């Protein structure tokens, strides 16, 4: 099932896709692709390559209450949690020409693979996703002002070229059984109290 490791699995899958799709001969440089936390920016060790930094996890409103899967005991599990993952792919390079070339290459690779199948999603963390599960990867709509604000929060004085992306819909399955209630056997209707209005009363 897509359990709590699904978020990490998607991020690892994106980095893994870039890592396996490139060749050092393509850019005449060894390339690195890593997951970053906020502190990794200040301690960056990537000379040439890209980092993935997830800055937001959002609940997908269009799939707010997807039905849970059927458990091994034949009973339905509680509803899934549908998520959107928002992340930045930051390009690192020694010179501008290589940085821009890497940015174009990364965007082309992800455009060519807009849907990650279970085989790719499970490549780093096995058995997280079901064989029929997929995740869509696409460019995100992030205003320049918001992008710069993220860098301000990171506390860095130098901006690095970053491309916003979004992964959707990442379903995290529940391990709890769906609560079941007994069928309604009878219903009771209370009669409304009726008081007649006598002549002279209002």
pLDDT digits (tens, 9 = 90+) for 171-195: 887 765 555 545 555 666 665 555 6
Q: Which residue has the higher pLDDT, 98 or 77?
A: 98
* Gap between the Cα atoms of 134 and 61, Å rounded: 18
Q: Determine if residue 127 is left, alpha or beta; phi over 0 gives left, psi from -120 to 50 gives alpha, anything else beta.
A: left
Write out the E strands in the chain.
Answer: 32-36, 49-59, 81-92, 115-116, 135-139, 162-172
- Average pLDDT over every residue of 190-202: 60
Q: Which residue has the higher pLDDT, 64 or 108?
A: 108
Which domains are present in the chain?
Answer: 6-172 (3.30.2000)
Cβ(81)–Cβ(95) under 8 Å? no
Among 57-61, 70-74, 176-180, 198-202, top mean pLDDT goes to 57-61
The 10s digit of each residue's pLDDT in 115-141 is 999 999 999 999 999 899 999 999 999
Give the relative orientation of helices 6-21 and 96-112 as an angle to the nearest 10 degrees: 120
Q: What is the DSSP string of 177-189?
A: BPP--PPP-----
- The confidence score (pLDDT) of residue 26 equals 83
- Average pLDDT over every residue of 90-118: 96
């Amino acid at each position: 099932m897509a359990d709590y490791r699904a978020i990490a699995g998607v991020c690892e899958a994106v980095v893994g896709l870039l890592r396996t799709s490139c060749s050092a001969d393509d850019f005449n440089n060894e390339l690195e692709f890593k997951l970053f936390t906020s502190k990794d920016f200040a301690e960056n060790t990537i000379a040439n390559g890209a980092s993935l930094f997830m800055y937001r996890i959002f609940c997908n409103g269009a799939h707010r209450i997807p039905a849970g899967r059927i458990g091994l005991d034949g009973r339905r599990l509680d509803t899934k949690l549908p998520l959107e993952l928002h992340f930045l792919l930051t390009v690192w390079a020694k010179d501008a020409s290589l940085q821009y070339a890497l940015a174009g290459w990364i965007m082309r690779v992800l455009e060519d693979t807009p849907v990650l199948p279970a085989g790719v999603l499970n490549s780093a963390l096995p058995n997280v996703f079901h064989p029929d599960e997929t995740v869509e990867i696409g460019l995100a709509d992030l205003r320049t002002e918001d992008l710069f604000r993220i860098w301000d929060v990171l506390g860095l004085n130098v901006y690095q070229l970053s491309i916003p992306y979004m992964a959707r819909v990442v379903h995290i399955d529940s391990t709890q059984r769906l609560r079941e209630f007994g069928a309604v056997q009878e219903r009771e209707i209370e009669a409304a109290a009726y008081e007649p209005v006598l002549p002279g009363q209002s």
